Structure formats: C-alpha cells, structure tokens
Structure 1
Amino acid sequence: MRAVRDHVRVVVQGRGRRVRRAGLVGLLWVCAEVAVTVGVVVLLLVVHQVWWTNRQALAAAHERVGQLEREWIGLPPVLPPTPSTSSAPSPPSASSDPPAVVDPSHDPDPASPAPVAPKPRPRESAYGVLRIPRLGVVVPIAQGVDKRTVLDKGYAGHYAGTAQPGAQGNFALAGHRNTHGEPFRYINRLRAGDEVLVDVRGKRYTYVVGKVLAETTERDTGVIGPVPRSAVKPEYGYSAPGAYITLTTCTPEYTSKYRLVVWGTLKS
C-alpha cells in the first residue's frame, strides 16, 4: 500500500514540472511577440521620420520654389484641380504675429487708385530661394527659424534681426541636417570659393564661401552677429564689417548637441 502511494506521488510531481515548464515557455513566447511588435513599431517610426518626412518636405519645398519663380516672372500660380462638388470655403485664419521684417517680395497693385498698405505675411511664408550649386540644394527661404512652421517644411529659416539678402551685415540662415528635407545635410562639404546663391523676386545675390566652423555650442550667438565671429572660438570668424551670409545646422548628424557654421561674403 505504501509503495502505491509513493508511485502516485512521483507521477503527480512529474506532471507539475511539465505544467510549470509549459507556463514558462508560454510566457517567453508572449514576451518574444511583444518585443517583435515593439521593434516593428519603432522601425516604422524611424522609417517615417528619416525617409518619409524627407520625401514630403523635399517635394513640398521644390513645389514652393516653382511657385515663387512663377510669381516673379508674372505667371499665374499652378492651382490644384478643383473638386467636382462645390463646398463652402473655410474662413482664413487670422494671425496676430506680424512678420519680423517687411516682406521684400511685395509690390503694391499698380491698378489701385491709392497706395495700399501691404498685408502682413506669415512668418513661415517663403520669400526667396537658396541655391548651393556644389551640393545641388534648391530650397525656399522663409522668415524665422521655428521648427514646425519653417524648418520642418524643408525651408531655410532666416534668423530674425539679421541682415536682408545682399545688404550690409550678416544674412543668417538655419536648416535641418537630417530629416524634413535635410537641406543642410552636406554643408560640411563646402570649401572656400564655393558659391551660395540667393534669389529674391528675380534678383540674384552671389556669396562666396570663405570659412567653416566645424563645431560650436548652440548658444554661440556670435556666429550670426553683424560681423560674424565665434564667441566660443574667437579665432573663427571675421573682424571687419561687410555683407556676409551664414549657414547654421546641427552636428554631429542625427543629434542637436553642437552647431556647424559656414560663412561667406557677398561677391561684388
């Protein structure tokens, strides 16, 4: 009788181990599925951020360049096809934030009987085109350096308070190095003598690259001063007044820890 009880006890213990082992395997399987799912989601987010946003911003930026060029030569803009069913237009959104500077692309209507005050143009509205032939860059220029309304559109943003294109002082621009069109991704490849072209309403200003600052802090405001000179590395920059252009972007790639700066001077 005792032998029978011992035999039964052994059998029950064996089943318990198998149940525990099956439960552990099931738990590991669930964890593996969760890890794979999270990995796929992260991968899709990376693809969207690095690849898809580039395509969207680049296409929209090139379309805006085309619109500007058509405006400058007096051609009507190319409008998207209208839907077959008409609908009431949405009221325009009002902006209480006036532009930092007067829009240089505005001309009063010659048919008006009296001068008409120009309408404030939104800060994110493009007014010029930046071209860097060596890099194949062609992007709109807009006022301000706000990420959502300017830089994430693939535009070059004009720092508020800096000079206008072609004027004395420092015409300073910012642009993304990675994602959202990444117009300034390869400005580290620019060398002394390379040209940077700025078009505003059909007038072209040609700047010639003179100096490059490979790395400085994000708070080094001296690089966009009227006479650009690094406040962190004073050996980099200029000492005499002139007509300058400054291109700034983040560095190293895929980070925003430091700033990369390229300077040029207006070609006479």
Structure 2
Amino acid sequence: MRQRIMHHGVRRRRERRRRAVWTGGELLVTVGVVLLLLVVHQLWWTNREARQGAQRRVEALEREWGQGGGADSGTAADSGSPSAAPRPPESPESPAERDAPATARDTVPTPDPSQAYAVLSIPRLHLRVPVAEGVGKRSVLNKGYVGHYPGTGQPGRAGNFAVAGHRNTHGEPFRYVNRLVAGDTVRVETSSAVYTYAVDRTLRQTSARDSGVIRPIPRSTVHPAHGYTAPGYYLTLTTCTPEYTSRYRLVVWGKLVSMRPR
C-alpha cells in the first residue's frame, strides 16, 4: 500500500491559509466590538452626559433667577390640559403684555451665541431643558440643549420663537414631540417672565431646507397648506424625522396663550 507524500510547499500554503482565516476572524471580531462600543456611546453615553449637563444648566438658571420652581410649578395654564388654557393674546399687543412691567415687555436682551438664557418645559413629555442661542451641534444641540434659531423671534414677542432639538442621541430632548396634540402646553421661562404656548398644529414631515416653517408668519414652502397666514405670537419646535436619520424635519407649532411676569 502506497503512502501519500505531503510536500513541504503544500504544508506551507495550508498553514498560510489557516493563519489568514484566523487573522480575518480576529479582525471581524475586533471591528464588531468597536462598532458595538460606538453604538453604546451614541445611544447611551451621549444621552447620559448631555442630560446631566442640561439639568445642571437648568438649575443654574433657576438660581440666577432666584427661584427654585420645578417642572410642576406654575399656573393652571401649564398643566397640559386644553381646557385650562387661557384666551390667546390679542394682536398687536396682548392685555398680558400691556399689564407687564416695562422691563418685561419693552426690553428684549440679545443672548450671547451658545449661551443658555431660557428654560423650555413640556408637561406632557416631562421635559425641562435649557434654551441656548444658536443651533450649532457642538456648541448647543449636542449639549442636550434646545437651540434658538438666530433671527427668529424671542419668547412672548410678536413673530415666531423657533427652536430646534435632537430627536436621538445627545440628550434627545425632542424625541417624543411627535406625541404632542392640539392643546398641549409648552412653557418658556426667562429671567423676566413665564410664557405659555398651546400646541396648535403639526407638520409630520417636510424638507430639511423648508425655511418657511421658522419665518415670522410660519408657513411651509414645501407643503403650503400647512402653516399660518396672519401675524401672531408663534412657537415652532423642529427636529429630525424619521428617528435616527436627519433626512426630513418634523415641525410642531403653537400659539402664545398667557404671560406671567416674574
């Protein structure tokens, strides 16, 4: 019976193939672990870090304003109940603004870029976050803040107070704004007053370039049937949609229904 002779060259080739397969497997495992760590970092760590930082900034603003009221403080209009919302302000100046101290209604300070200067609360979502000037990712949004679009109106003023926030990662303050319905309240607190808006309309999806939604009289340029035609006191919340993408924008609009000076 003949014995099969294994040449050294064949052995070396087989050994190289085994090493290549082993090395490839190790690389795949390493890449998988790295990707898993990146996902954990994006979905868990950035949220944890941003939420803690945002909460500290809210507390700092409350100390600066000399009040320690939490998310549940405020008037009946802030309870989230549509029936509790007071009558909308009249145009061009509401009775609440006429009765407010001059420092509250005549002076509109210009916030410094990236500086948190207000607190936005949405009772239905148990949300309470700082509002900062600008919509830069690193300087504002990635900190878990809500960003105010430069050039749009300020809280409680005629025009459109327009803000943006992440829907996923980095605190994701606007993750559930799609759950808001007409009549839900949004409260914006500043050093001089507390403004309450009532959610009025929602545009479920529009282009990321639809600048009409943040104009003084907000109206979509992509979906012209959505928006307003007359001046008023508006609030606009914008975020990305669908979740975990930035292809489109979700828009929620509200109208000012009350103002309470501090």
Scaled to the shorter chain, the TM-score interval is 0.7 to 0.9
Partner secondary structure for residue 49 of structure 1: helix
177-186 vs 121-130, which deviates more?
121-130
Q: TM-score, structure 2 length as denominator? A: 0.79
Counterpart of 1:36? 29
What letter is aligned with 1:262? Answer: V
Partner secondary structure for residue 53 of structure 2: helix
C-alpha RMSD over aligned residues: 2.1
What letter is aligned with 1:59? Answer: Q
* Structure 1 residue ranges (4+ consecutive) displaced by more than 6 angstroms after TM superposition: none
Match of 2:113 among 108, 118, 123: 123
Q: Which has the higher contact order (CA 8 A, sep 6+)?
A: 2
> Partners in 1 of 2:229 and 2:202 — Cα distance?
15
Going from structure 1 to structure 2, the CA distance change for 1:245 and 1:132 (only over 3 Å counts) comes to: same
Task: Using the TM superposition, give the Cα deviation of residue 12 of structure 1 relative to its aligned residue in structure 2, in angstroms.
Answer: 3.8
Sequence identity (%)? 59
1:227 matched to 2:217? The reply is yes
Task: Using the TM superposition, give the Cα deviation of residue 120 of structure 1 relative to its aligned residue in structure 2, in angstroms.
Answer: 8.4
> Partners in 2 of 1:222 and 1:60 — Cα distance?
32
What letter is aligned with 2:147? Answer: G
Task: Using the TM superposition, give the Cα deviation of residue 179 of structure 1 relative to its aligned residue in structure 2, in angstroms.
Answer: 0.7
Task: Using the TM superposition, give the Cα deviation of residue 16 of structure 1 relative to its aligned residue in structure 2, in angstroms.
Answer: 4.2
Task: Using the TM superposition, give the Cα deviation of residue 238 of structure 1 relative to its aligned residue in structure 2, in angstroms.
Answer: 1.1
8 A contact 1:69–1:202 mirrored in 2 = no
> Partners in 1 of 2:41 and 2:213 — Cα distance?
33
Counterpart of 2:5? 11
1:190 matched to 2:180? The reply is yes
Match of 1:170 among 142, 157, 160: 160
Partner secondary structure for residue 134 of structure 1: helix
> Partners in 2 of 1:45 and 1:148 — Cα distance?
18
Unaligned runs of 5+ in 1: 1-6, 76-106, 108-118
Counterpart of 2:42? 49
Going from structure 1 to structure 2, the CA distance change for 1:152 and 1:238 (only over 3 Å counts) comes to: same
Going from structure 1 to structure 2, the CA distance change for 1:204 and 1:120 (only over 3 Å counts) comes to: closer
Unaligned runs of 5+ in 2: 69-102, 104-108
Q: Which has the larger radius of gyration?
A: 1
Partner secondary structure for residue 148 of structure 1: coil
Count residues with an aligned counterpart. Answer: 219
